Amino acid sequence: MQFHLNGFNAGDPRVQAPSEMAKTNPQTDSLPEQVDVLIVGCGPAGLTLAAQLAAFPDIRTRIIEQKEGPLQLGQADGVACRTMEMFEAFGFSRRVMEEAYWVNEVTFWKPDTKRPEHIVRNGRVQDTEDGLSEFPHVILNQARVHDFYLEVMKNSPSRLVPDYSRSLVDVEVDRTATDYPVTVRVARTDAAHQGQEEVVRARYVVGCDGARSAVRKSIGRELRGDSANQAWGVMDVLAVTDFPDIRLKAAIHSATEGNVLIIPREGGYLVRLYVELDKLNENERVASRNITVDHLIAAAQRVLHPYTLDVKEVAWWSVYEIGQRISDHYDDVAGRGDDAALPHVFIAGDACHTHSPKAGQGMNFSMQDTFNLGWKLASVLRGQCNPELLHSYSAERQSVAQELIDFDRTWAKMFSDRPSEGGAGGVDPKAFEQYFVKQGRFTAGTETHYQPSMITGDSTHQALAEGLTIGKRFHSAPVFRLADARPLHLGHVARADGRWRLYAFAGKHDNGGAESGIRALCEYLTDSPASPLRRFTPAGCDIDSVFDVRAIFQQSHRDLALESMPAMLLPRKGRYGLQDYEKVFFAGLNSGQDIFDMRGINRTLGCLIIVRPDQYVAQVLPLAARQELADFFDGFMQQPS
């Protein structure tokens, strides 16, 4: 954490100084007439976006929610490794790690061959393969994830808080308008304001309003897909049981009584059970069955036989039908044949894709949607990037969601199938386990792979860093900081602040001195008129306000000298021109491998890794590839006016 740059401030450094706007014109209980971005819905997608945009006090953001206040319990709970990496950028990964249940292993249970009415443990696998991420896969009440985002928003310069008890009436886009083309009507639903309506004009509207999204309907999009016609129940319980794996994620196939998935929960006592219920008829909704929590408990007890389950308290429960559905496009213009039209309305999260909760992907994917969209909206609104950049949101997120849907369909089907015992039909328990292992990376969220586009390069120079795949998330590794010899994760320097990271990995003998490739790159970036840093960083801003350049050397710090580093790596910043000492790193040794080994970086040549504000690798370039570097950013950035 860096703070005190513009003077010492007492108190919690997470509480940032309020912006002038937040001081002189603090948020009131009424929606303003005009905003830059109106977010509809305070779920994981909406809050990720709100937390991202709140970092930019020059962007006027509001977020509305139907409910009367913050979520208290229930709903999603799985937090994938990739999501934890994003939480790190928002500053609350460690709080989640402290509170959450960690999924370390998964066990698989099947009918006992000799006594099929009994279940027996049939397998045990590590949940996440070694080295996949520096973060664990964890389980935490969705409400707590909301709490952490709300805290980030409240502590941001914007002091953003949601506007609750607001129901969307309609959304209209005026394509002839010169500015604020979206008009949104909102009904207030709390007792004090019943019957009142607010009208907001927005530059952009983002519908994070769930599977029945009103925003989606307003732009004529729909979810398409199928349903397995299978009802499931879910319950969070405090219970006493002699089932030995109650604190492990456990997938249980019984012979004739259906299936149960056990997900232990935070705090050591609470546990979630997903319980298979009835097959539904075609087009039947689960609500028609009048299922009670007692049905769920009884079904779980039958599956767990011969183990007992004595439920003492039900904290939350629900029933649902499995279905995988997705919208073909995520904005108001994509695929409609008008290449000149720019998107102004977006949908994200459950509004554009729904699936079974079994793979624990819904919440995670929703948050990644808006982490993808957030920096794009911010950079367009702030004049850093061309508005055409916004097309990439639907293009990137829809295709990776389609892959998820396909995976999820297979997974959910295997989960609901009867176990086979050598004969035909049903799912082979070992095959089920193998599929789980094979898809571990997918489930961890680390397999998301964006295709080449204006913001994702091709693979020309991929060989310079085999382990940092272009289009995939920047896979962090441990390094040491030169100025204070502190061990840390390189990826954790990336905060959710909309900036691009340029990680310059030095060649073998490069020590930052006269012959240094790093020095030459830094001098180009600061001095050349063609430098993207010079062209796209607004006058009067800190030198790292758009591009955050960091260098990683191979030598030990005892063979490097801070004082002979290029000036750009010790930049003067803020009102006092203080030096920033956190730009230079050395590889050091961690369990025999350093970051060059771990990520397959060419030790002879080094390389430059360009990382997007949402932590995805945009390009791998030779250190000296000036033209390719300039061309890349020319493709979508615009010079400050």
Closest approach, Cβ 592 to a second copy, in A, equals 10
- Please say whether the beta carbons of 430 and 419 come within 8 A: no
Check residue 298 for interaction with a second copy (CB under 8 A).
no
Site for a second copy in 303-362 (CB under 8 A): 312-313, 315-316
Query: What is the residue whose two structure tokens read 């010899």?
Result: 485
Closest approach, Cβ 189 to a second copy, in A, equals 22
Select from 78-86, 154-162, 448-456, 575-583 the region that touches a second copy (CB under 8 A): 575-583
378, 518, 603 from 514: Cα distances, Å: 38, 10, 19
Indicate which single residue of 487, 508, 556, 567 sits in contact with a second copy (rule: CB under 8 A).
Answer: 487
- Give catalytic status of residue 269 as yes or no: no
Other CB atoms within 10 Å distance of the CB of residue 168: 22
- Please say whether the beta carbons of 21 and 35 come within 8 A: no
Check residue 639 for interaction with a second copy (CB under 8 A).
no
- Please say whether the beta carbons of 616 and 472 come within 8 A: yes
The catalytic position among 44, 162, 264, 357 is 357
Indicate which single residue of 161, 187, 238, 520 sits in contact with a second copy (rule: CB under 8 A).
Answer: 238
- Ramachandran angles phi, psi of 142, nearest 5°: -55, -35
Closest approach, Cβ 441 to a second copy, in A, equals 20
Indicate which single residue of 191, 563, 604, 641 sits in contact with a second copy (rule: CB under 8 A).
Answer: 563
DSSP state of 288: G
The catalytic position among 60, 82, 144, 265 is 265
Which residue number, 223 or 560, has a Cβ lying nearer to a second copy? 560
Check residue 13 for interaction with a second copy (CB under 8 A).
yes
Closest approach, Cβ 239 to a second copy, in A, equals 8
- Give catalytic status of residue 209 as yes or no: no
- Give catalytic status of residue 614 as yes or no: no
* Rounded Cα distance, 616 and 448, in Å: 9
Strand order in the sheet with 500-505: 487-489, 478-481, 584-586, 547-553, 500-505, 607-611, 617-621
* Rounded Cα distance, 54 and 62, in Å: 9
Contacts of 352 by beta carbon, 8 Å cutoff, 6+ apart = 213, 216, 221, 223, 326, 327, 330, 369, 397, 398, 401
Select from 21-29, 548-556, 557-565, 628-636 the region that touches a second copy (CB under 8 A): 557-565
Strand order in the sheet with 353-354: 119-126, 105-111, 249-253, 259-264, 271-279, 224-241, 309-326, 353-354
* Rounded Cα distance, 528 and 597, in Å: 33
Number of residues lying near a second copy (CB under 8 A): 61
Check residue 244 for interaction with a second copy (CB under 8 A).
yes
Q: Which amino acid, one-letter code, is at 143?
A: A
Indicate which single residue of 10, 192, 340, 539 sits in contact with a second copy (rule: CB under 8 A).
Answer: 10
Q: Is 218 exposed, middle or buried (0-12, 13-18, 19+ CB in 10 A)?
A: buried
Which residue number, 128 or 394, has a Cβ lying nearer to a second copy? 128
- Give catalytic status of residue 274 as yes or no: yes
Select from 218-226, 343-351, 389-397, 574-582 the region that touches a second copy (CB under 8 A): 574-582
Check residue 578 for interaction with a second copy (CB under 8 A).
yes
Check residue 435 for interaction with a second copy (CB under 8 A).
no
- Please say whether the beta carbons of 326 and 223 come within 8 A: yes
Mapping DSSP onto H, E and C, the string for 492-547 reads: HHCCCCCCEEEEEECCCCCCCCCCCHHHHHHHHHHHCCCCHHHHHCCCCCCCCCCE
Which residue number, 40 or 496, has a Cβ lying nearer to a second copy? 496
Residue span 75-104 as binding mask against a second copy, x where in contact by CB under 8 A, dash where not: -------------------x---xx-xx-x
- Please say whether the beta carbons of 169 and 197 come within 8 A: yes
Check residue 157 for interaction with a second copy (CB under 8 A).
no
Q: Which residues bind a second copy (CB under 8 A)?
A: 1-5, 7-8, 10-13, 72-73, 94, 98-99, 101-102, 104-105, 124, 143-144, 147, 236, 238-240, 242, 244, 246-248, 264, 266-270, 312-313, 315-316, 483-487, 558, 561-563, 572, 576-582, 591
Cite the active site residues. 77, 265, 274, 357
